[in-house]
Amino acid sequence: MPVIKTIGIMSGTSLDGVDLACCEFEQTGEKWNFEIKAAETFAYSAEWKQRLATASGQTGIELAFTNNLLGGYFGEMVRDFIKKHKFTPDFIASHGHTIFHRPADGLTLQIGSGAEIAAQTSLTTVCDFRTSDVALGGQGAPLVPVGDKLLFSEFQFCLNLGGFANISFDKSGQRIAFDVCPLNTVLNDLANQLDLDFDKDGQVAASGKVHEHLLKALNAIAFYSKKPPKSLGREWLETSFMPVLNNFNLDIPDKMRTLAEHFAIQIAAVAKDKPSGKMLITGGGAFNRFLIERICDHSAHQIIIPDPLIVNFKEALIFAFLGVLRLKGIPNCLSSVTGASHDNVGGAVYFGGK
């Protein structure tokens, strides 16, 4: 089978920036091989951060404009990226940027118009991966597990530490995956209050003390006792998590130290069914040394932090792969993960070319 070349676009809830990855895939029998040829993160400007952070409160017409503008912005970015790396993709696959995620209400919205991306690049663009699954009664998330299963099968657990932490593993012959807890979205917001972009190596958290009453209150949040499938979004964070955190008048280092302990406890708890094995950790949180130490302290698993290209760009890689599966008509949303009525092929396609 010929090599398939694509570019994955990922914009996370933590507003760290836009990840672009030039990816190549080749299928040999049942096995998929991949290579990230080039990848970069492009930081959002202050104006874009503000626009996206407030998008959920925009009027319908304002949000429609933001959707188109962001798609055009992604398209221009990809066009320059292609030129810089002399890469000729067959198509583009874009996660977009999540504004609303309320699957219980049949609602999920990722903006960054695929039509605009296709228009800017003249390349076929796959986007809007979640809506079909939500329409079928699923959570529409997480979507990365099909990539974990097909591209990273040698690991018993795949843990991603992004804006939210999510985990993926096989159980009783099926792929199981779900969001575990919030993570960088909360930690970065607290770091911002100290005029830091993020807590480098977890140094601020390490300087604080665990507040036992806050830790107990966080661990008692109802989401953690709910069985999968389950997923998290900004709305849950604002209504169920932040009120608990903000109910305690603590210094930021103490809040961050307590959060690190809370996150490590929750991550270890969801992996307890398999007390040993390899756990692949990716996402920005993999560079938070203190958080990794706390996870190691609570877990007996062999923690594997891979090459920085995989750590930083695994989600962009896997959304590129979801685009491959979409265009081949192969299911890329697993009902065992999302709770949808059946596996489905997710993604809207905007054809490029002139």
Note whether 302 and 333 are same-domain residues. Answer: no
Angle between helices 184-192 and 252-270 (to 10 degrees): 170
Note whether 150 and 279 are same-domain residues. Answer: yes
**Three-state secondary structure of the chain:** CCCEEEEEEEECCCCCCEEEEEEEEEEECCEEEEEEEEEEEECCCHHHHHHHHCHHHCCHHHHHHHHHHHHHHHHHHHHHHHHHHCCCCCEEEECCEEEEEEHHHCEEEEECCHHHHHHHHCCCEEECCCHHHHHCCCCCCCCCHHHHHHHCCCCCEEEEECCEEEEEEEECCEEEEEEEEECHHHHHHHHHCCCCCCCHHHHHHHHCCCCHHHHHHHHCCHHHHCCCCCCCCHHHHHHHHHHHHHCCCCCHHHHHHHHHHHHHHHHHHHCCCCCCCEEEEECHHHHCHHHHHHHHHHCCCEEECCCHHHHHHHHHHHHHHHHHHHHHCCCCECHHHHCCCCCECCCEEECCCC
Note whether 211 and 288 are same-domain residues. Answer: yes
pLDDT digits over 61-77, tens only?
999 999 999 999 999 99
Identify the domain containing residue 254 by its residue range: 145-309
Note whether 111 and 151 are same-domain residues. Answer: no
| Paired residues of 32 in beta bridges | 27
Q: How confident is the model at residue 79 (pLDDT cuts 50, 70, 90)?
A: very high
Mean pLDDT rounded to a whole number for the chain: 94
Please give the structure tokens belonging to residue 61.
């017409």
Half-sphere exposure of 140 (CA within 13 A, CB side): 25
Note whether 295 and 322 are same-domain residues. Answer: no
Q: In whole angstroms, how far apart are CA 23 and each of 83, 87, 91?
A: 15, 10, 11
Longest dimension (CA), the chain: 62
Note whether 168 and 204 are same-domain residues. Answer: yes
CATH number at residue 20: 3.30.420.40
Evaluate the omega torsion of the peptide bond into residue 228 and state whether it is cis, within 30 degrees of 0: no
Q: How confident is the model at residue 269 (pLDDT cuts 50, 70, 90)?
A: very high
Note whether 157 and 88 are same-domain residues. Answer: no
Q: How confident is the model at residue 242 (pLDDT cuts 50, 70, 90)?
A: very high
Note whether 113 and 173 are same-domain residues. Answer: no
What is the arithmetic mean of pLDDT over 123-131? Answer: 97
Note whether 297 and 319 are same-domain residues. Answer: no
Note whether 153 and 87 are same-domain residues. Answer: no
Note whether 206 and 320 are same-domain residues. Answer: no
pTM here? 0.86
Note whether 156 and 71 are same-domain residues. Answer: no
Inter-residue contact 94 to 125 (CB < 8 Å): yes
Whether the predicted pLDDT of 354 surpasses 70: no
**What is the domain count for the chain?**
2
